[in-house]
Structure 1
């Protein structure tokens, strides 16, 4: 524009119109005509194209959400229905009452509060022990080279392929004999049940942790060894902080599995005051002539609070802990 003479208004008007047209081309128009400079307005997709590309995914997501939420709503509705049967709970939230929740804590024959505390204690101790033992084994297999290392990894994985039901009789007889020598670790003791759980803590957990430990560069260990750190110090002060996601995942899975475990707990724990929620809640529906599904549903709703709270507290570790060790 510096080459134009001041007396050439026609050329100046032509340049201004070109600049205005260029701004209009790169400015998306909204409902009020406003836009952002430098962006191009994209045309609205036809409905058929939108449904073919992304719309059907929304329908699938809604269907899956309904499929997952409906049983939860049904159990919650059954827990608030004082009828005691599931047939009267077909109409969701038709009758609302907290009698079932009150009965959980007022029936001496069914000490729900003791079951809740027992489940919490056994689950947390077992989860902590599982994480600790699994982390020690995974660190050994990942960082140390010794004879039988590959055979040990394979054996841990193969042993987990056999269900615990195959060893039920052997575990029962073993607990009876241990109780004769050490009553605190024998049959009908919570410590004995925890020991049984910890005995099967290795296997898949160790293999899962082993894959995650391999993602931590070994150069970190070498640098710490140059500074004079041993395996114990490297493990407790460096490695455990770097593998926190997998520790949270294993702890969560262990707690949920222990809280919902029924077979071993029903065989080892005999006294009602020492039983867990999985065993205790079964008593509400085990008797054919005194089934109370409303109280059972109320107990199930309260029992789900612990796993859900733990899951929400550790959810930021779950995806990373499950996927980071799957790729070498």
Structure 2
């Protein structure tokens, strides 16, 4: 039976199907009208947005904002206090609890021009020691980490553990030995003995192998060894592989180690105070500490001004290397 004959034989069925299609078509049209982009939504689709209760919002994300504000205030307040103290013309901490109650640059001018306070020389000495030592520490640590990561030799694991265990002992245990050793060296080689920046650099480099090497070692292990094997097939030796391939791939960890070394050397006081005697040879930390060592007259304003200026190069280095910090600190933790 054809379709036309079926419609004539069953008219009620045809009417029912047409009604069903009309209802379905209307629903589809309404859906299309609501979902079509660029068209005004149907009045039926407009519903008022429901706002989440404050308690639910605070439990989900609000408490994080509170924690961030508290931590930020806790970190910023000491910085504001030091900046306020450096701008206090009186030279004392009196009235410093009222931040920026008195503002002046007298402390900065005094610390830069007073012949009894060779601050520019302290600053220069610190930068020389920090830059040379930081760069050399990174280079020595990278060489050691490459050897431990890529080469297999007797005592490799013992040596790796030893250089980490040695770092557990504080520097105070070695101060007396260092002083006696460099006192003897001064009699034979005065250029690297007591009261010399070169001697201080050598002492710092003696502790270059340690946590830095272990940190680099973990990062070096994340570099595929297939790159080394492919380079060896082309005739490259360890030196060429290290300088042309590996160093470019491990730039993040080199930046992190260099930054940590630079900050640590700028802030180091114990060994520098023992080895450096003359004021013109001292570093910033040692020189600034003497400004407040006298209990009768402590130039806290000058100390704060010197600390603010000493923080400038550290902040600059940090900003230049900040994009490498997260990757350099976390990548080495994925593979030991």
Tell me the TM-score normalized by structure 1.
0.90
In the alignment, is residue 101 of structure 1 matched against residue 115 of structure 2?
no
Paired with 1:41 and 1:313, the residues of 2 have a C-alpha distance of 49
Q: Secondary structure at the match of 2:138?
A: helix
Structure 1 unmatched ranges of 5 or more? 1-7, 28-32, 35-39
In the alignment, is residue 89 of structure 1 matched against residue 99 of structure 2?
no
Tell me the equivalent position of 1:110. 117
Tell me the equivalent position of 1:230. 237
Tell me by how many angstroms 1:186 deviates: 0.4
What per-residue deviation string (whole Å, max 9, x for no partner) do you get for residues 106-159 of structure 1?
111110001111111110101001000000000000000000000000110111
Q: Give the 3 Å change call, closer, same or farther, for CA 25–135 of structure 1 in structure 2.
A: same
RMSD of aligned Cα (Å): 2.3
Aligned residues: 311
Paired with 2:113 and 2:242, the residues of 1 have a C-alpha distance of 48
Tell me which structure has the larger Cα radius of gyration. 2
Query: Are the aligned partners of 2:95 and 2:101 in contact in 1 as well (CA < 8 Å)?
Result: no
Task: State how 1:1-328 maps to structure 2 within 5 Å.
Answer: 15=25, 18-24=28-34, 43-328=50-335
Paired with 1:153 and 1:205, the residues of 2 have a C-alpha distance of 11
Tell me the TM-score normalized by structure 2.
0.88
What per-residue deviation string (whole Å, max 9, x for no partner) do you get for residues 155-185 of structure 1?
1011110011001110001111111111111
Q: Secondary structure at the match of 1:286?
A: coil
Paired with 1:14 and 1:162, the residues of 2 have a C-alpha distance of 82
Please, which moves more after superposition, 85-94 or 113-122? 85-94
Q: Give the 3 Å change call, closer, same or farther, for CA 292–145 of structure 1 in structure 2.
A: same
Tell me by how many angstroms 1:83 deviates: 1.7
Paired with 1:241 and 1:42, the residues of 2 have a C-alpha distance of 53
